[in-house]
Structure 1
Amino acid sequence: MPLSLLMLALSAFAIGTTEFVIMGLLPDVAADLGVSIPGAGWLVTGYALGVAIGAPFMAMVTAKLPRKAALVSLMVIFIIGNLLCALASDYNVLMFARVVTALCHGAFFGIGSVVAANLVAPNRRASAVAMMFTGLTLANVLGVPLGTALGQYAGWRSTFFAVTVIGVISLIGLIRFLPAKRDEEKLDMRAELTALRGAGVWLSLSMTVMFAASVFALFTYMAPLLGEVTGVTPRGVTWTLLLIGLGLTLGNVIGGKLADRNMSRTLIGVFIVMAVVSTLLTWTSASLIPTEITVFIWATAGFAAVPALQINVMTFGKAAPNLISTLNIGAFNVGNALGAWVGGSVIAHGFGLSSVPLAAAALAVIALILTLITFRQPVNADVATAIN
């Protein structure tokens, strides 16, 4: 395995940790900066919006740079943003720092996916992208709980100092090990924007949005579902979230291998499993053991779609690889926000926590329908070979 892939995965780990760890530190941040918990919660929303808005903007800003130089520049922004978070004197500065950090997120994963796919043979592209995204899943398994524990022990600022250090290590690794391709095609931003006209590209991005919406409609409210419906203790919730993180990691690896064999069938199969398992959780959530089994299968199936979705948009948007893969990361975050809103609306309208899995299942069905429509779009021979 190329060391350059490991450096991309380490970078993904750092970025994923800084995105999600704030949720575990909200009470500490709120108390220290004198804001309410809901007010502190806007730090999560601000980051997600920064990713969604910043992704295409940073893709255009870095369009003329070689991909290695673009990734190095984005990691420098990430380091500066996290250092600002650690040194923030008040809530407004922290929000500004979170948005600065988020600017690099979408473009880094987008460009990084293109680089990862080009580091290996064509028949291993999805596995290479999955390897990079393993850093993101490990951020949920290890980075978030360890970062939360560090922040609770030594103050929330210590977590952002720690992530800054990981960012510096990643930066050094990218400079040292990432190959600089002399024959790399220069990007034509006008051509990349023109390439976005195809229906397949926008349908693919819509698939990503609905996939992420299905996942986060349930994931956002998993802890209260486990606590109030299943009756899991707070410590048990932590262990279940760790189990989910392991499922995400396993699914990411399996999904990469399956997508290398047949991308279209992988996505269709994953969305069917997500819809079925989410529906089952409505009934299994009343008992501990069935719940644990169901959520593990759900997590494994869910993240199996990630490498396939990323390769899918890169395939349909072959003429605009940097921009389209970056937009796909923005689509993930739009889906995150949509899913959280849908799940919250289900609860707010009195349907109860046990109905949230049904909402997630419905969103998975919409993703499945979009997938079936997408793969019926006219494609050239290269694209047809990649998705079948």
Structure 2
Amino acid sequence: MVFEKRLLRAEPNLKILSKLWRINWLYVGLICLLAAVGYIALYSAAGGADYPYARPQMMRFAIGFVVMISVALTPLRFLAKLAWPLYGLGIVLLLAVLHMGHVGKGAERWIVIGGIALQPSELMKIGLVLLLATWFHKISWKQMGNPLRLVVPAFLVLVPVVLILKEPNLGTAVIVGCIGASIFFVAGMRLWLILLLVCPIPFAFEFIYSHLHDYQKARITTFLHPESDPLGAGYNIIQSKIALGSGGMWGQGFLHGTQAQLNFLPEKQTDFIFTMLSEEWGFVGGACIIGLLLLIIIGGMIFAIRSKNQFGRLLALGLTMNFFFYCAVNLSMVMGAIPVGGVPLPMVSYGGSAMLTVMFGFGLLLSVQVHKDSTFGMEKKTED
């Protein structure tokens, strides 16, 4: 046995092959299937052409796939060391967006570096999950009962939320806050403290509403009464509902969706891409896509449960909740269940920053699965 361990250390290639064998390739297959759905959707969004959306998206996926597998083979101990640098880089880029960001649809959400448009809020979500997982790994469940122990991590969540709100990007800011709250809860934050923090929110709604931007207020008004301005603020959601309904049970057929192909449906390559798919593939097609998303989410939760170290559990949970909130907000938005917030559907909607960061997140998730038996090498602090 000792000789075998020495041999394993002497042959790093064998170790890499062993890790490749441990990767859950069924889960990788689900990710590839979702990317294929995205390719078909973007091909249709361009009117039956692979340019300008589908081909660039697949090139990004190919790069992201290499990144995903490379990260999956990386030890958790090394990934934990990236937490502070990645978080710090995200903060710097968010600050840069406020001063020199690219303006789009009334908000500064992108920054151009070397000719490449980046959305720092996407990177920030991954950095925050890594940092919170590293932080709470060192704190015992008993220590989590002390509110003073939560001041620093709460501040770490609050800083990016405020910076993202200033872009302004309300949808992503809410997602970042929900991700942080999920990790706090699973790490052992007491229920009474959660209720104490959540209860004042409804009473503060009037204050929050008064500080929203005009277009954000219009989204809330449109959500409540979309028919009040059918050709203005209510146009997007009305067209989305028409497209969803016109799909029926089996859809109008590939490349035959009237609302999408006649360009009545806005932002069909990004925010409303699920609507376009449902119009062409119907209720059955839309349900299959939602089922695929659920399988990916359930797989991530299983990876979290099976991890034998707290860092891996929190990391997998945070990344899975990030994907879940992304999907839930987009699907609810296009169905008219919540106000339109400009949140795309991951792996399906067109977008470079979102694609690469989501693939990096899947790589971290697979690393937790590959190294699920690892003790991680970070001992928790003794209980008070």
Q: Does the pair score TM above 0.5?
A: no
Q: Name the structure with the higher helix share.
A: 1
TM-score by length of 2: 0.30
